[in-house]
Structure 1
């Protein structure tokens, strides 16, 4: 019967479209229904678009009945997985949610009436994103039994996803618990939910501590801060090239979320934080310091992009310890030995090597030296002068009047004087 009625894809009228899949609410809630051209793939694409429009409205209105009408009812596993996704998005403060089918990616599955197509999701979280974040996925569509609609029969194509890493958010991967408090949105799972209160407290108080040092720059993408803490490693594996630091080694990460990964010129929609679950059993002192480090990256946003790692990471460490009394500002065990061998400021190779922890500390104390000798405003001025790949020697001479080697030596000397007792 499905094959015989499949021809209705070319004959379905605007009236039938409105009374079919979208009958639960007025057609005015959605994009205009399709006008058929006679091109089979165009017609299929328009029916797909109608389906994803209905899905978007259902998600925004928390209408689970309408949401399920867009899914292939014959696949119980799909229904269960998509219910998890619905429950996840229901917890988010969604301002914009819309889908667009990329009709030039529609592919007929050989020997069937099913079609794969790439779909763009634009999702903006109110108070947290400066613009809607556009991500791509690949959906499988199948005709309904009466041939009038296209239903989503899969949202997973493992090979396609492997070829497009870094394209998912935590709520795409499994059940999450979302908590919100005073401009902080926390995304947790069953393993980390018990620590949500401590994390949200640390981020809430940390925002004020960080802004007291770096200021409240009008260029920041949004006021709110999003923090993730998830046990599932799948999310971390997809963060290649999106973080400051190595996802596998880091206790915390700052994630620049682009408006669109395929058009880098559009910039970042927001900067989000990830806290590795292994740190959640640490003391509030340790968690607070880590949170302030990552918040510094997040709240600076694009400021300092392209500046050397030593000032970006050194500044984040410098800011992270400001609320602590000097006696509580712990230094890594390797810092003094690494500092003793330092002849210049560290580069990317040092931060990627086995002594990275020591180089973080050296960079921190270089920033301590600049702030103590010249003032915090000069430290931030130096960050600005070094961004966008500026010549380091010229910037140091113009702002501080010294060489990079001299700056490294003076930072190490201050660190050694402070701790080698």
Structure 2
């Protein structure tokens, strides 16, 4: 994380008239009288607390019961935009296989860092789990802004920039717009109004991609969630490359900020959703990342991406894969494979193609187990810097990654 240092400029004091006594100099303008505060500061009206906590319970009960009218009755009707988004959000939730739903009063210790708004603000933790897809419930930290309605409270907002930045919250498609959900045999696809026209074909291709990946990784459950929405803002934040160069992104969903992983999901660039020719390959690649989950977190980037791309290409014959690699790497020379995230910023096309070829070469000439064993070795290996991963490769395979790339290039070009 890049850290910037702020330098404070000294304020120059303007010359002032001096006084020898305690009274104001003759002719001085009288000081204005400040009006008395008519109520508590914004967001601090504690007299509304009991009513606000009661409203929290009402919203939980309504969401669990699927009572749309009761849920929306808790919303301030004067907050027109918020009321509309809450109606849309409830309709989105109704399409998801929700369980473990709750609203709880959150950690109040950081509320001094939150800009005041409305009559009262309270931290609220929203918890939910996608049944059959998430290993554990997922909790989102929120700040709710309440408005007084006589002796009662109404909700005026549930978003807060400070808490979202603090928790690292990443919005899901159901938080951003209207969604259309498709579910089939352990696959949950989330689409929107612009991508839903392709949903039936995408779900079929996802099933085919899963079968291809499970043939190589049979221990994987094959259950997953994917986003095929037209909003690419979240993808832009997640990807180390530009959105135009990013076909899809696999990502972990944490059970709570800095907590354990509840699920691995992936989102697809809307251009890929509508691309019949390329989406099969993209789906297989991303599903490998989903299947591995956190188990390849300590693998060098070339290995994690190389395995995913190798598995994605396995529906092609060995000779076809060698010819594809030879065409992609026609001018490439042997090099040390990139272990860090510079993989995505320094000639990523070359990095992907060369890593895929090296993994294909290893799997074809030494057997696929050499790849899985290497991932397990890295998961338990002790090293402090990514440069040390070269030593692990030499110990396990007897060669450096530069030597591996030379052997793989010669193998591809001899096809």
Aligned residue number for residue 256 of structure 1: 252
Deviation, structure 1 residue 283 = 2.5
Aligned residue number for residue 307 of structure 1: 299
Runs of 4+ in 1 over 6 A off after TM superposition: 107-110
Please state if 1:215 is matched with 2:207.
Answer: no
1:67 pairs, out of 57, 67, 71, with: 71
For residues 168 and 309 of structure 1, the distance between their equivalents in structure 2, rounded to whole angstroms, comes to: 26
CA contact (8 A) 2:247 2:269 kept: yes
Aligned residue number for residue 21 of structure 1: none
1:283 pairs, out of 255, 268, 276, with: 276
Aligned residue number for residue 263 of structure 2: 270
Rg larger in 1 or in 2? Answer: 2
CA contact (8 A) 2:235 2:249 kept: no
Q: Deviations over 1:148-189 (max 9, x none)?
A: x32211123356546655432111111111111111111111
Q: CA RMSD in A?
A: 2.8
Aligned residues: 364
For residues 319 and 92 of structure 1, the distance between their equivalents in structure 2, rounded to whole angstroms, comes to: 30
Within-5 A mapping of 1:3-402: 41=46, 44-102=48-106, 103-105=108-110, 114-145=119-150, 147=151, 149-158=152-161, 161=164, 165-217=168-220, 224-237=223-236, 239-240=237-238, 245-246=240-241, 248=243, 249-261=245-257, 263=258, 266-284=259-277, 286-326=278-318, 329=321, 330-331=324-325, 334-337=328-331, 339-340=332-333, 342-348=334-340, 351-387=343-379, 390=382, 391-402=388-399
Please state if 1:405 is matched with 2:402.
Answer: yes
For residues 233 and 61 of structure 2, the distance between their equivalents in structure 1, rounded to whole angstroms, comes to: 29
For residues 109 and 208 of structure 1, the distance between their equivalents in structure 2, rounded to whole angstroms, comes to: 50
CA contact (8 A) 1:109 1:115 kept: no
Quickly say closer, same or farther: Cα 1:97–1:301, change in 2 above 3 A: same
For residues 166 and 40 of structure 1, the distance between their equivalents in structure 2, rounded to whole angstroms, comes to: 27
Deviation, structure 1 residue 274 = 0.8
- For structure 1, the 5+ residue unaligned runs are 1-5, 8-38
Deviation, structure 1 residue 81 = 1.4
Q: Deviations over 1:222-275 (max 9, x none)?
A: 7521110111233324x43xx6x53633111101111112x3xx3211000111
For residues 276 and 113 of structure 1, the distance between their equivalents in structure 2, rounded to whole angstroms, comes to: 38
Q: Deviations over 1:255-306 (max 9, x none)?
A: 1111112x3xx3211000111011233224x211110000000011111111
CA contact (8 A) 1:335 1:361 kept: yes
Q: Deviations over 1:2-42 (max 9, x none)?
A: xxxx99xxxxxxxxxxxxxxxxxxxxxxxxxxxxxxx984x
- For structure 2, the 5+ residue unaligned runs are 1-38, 383-387
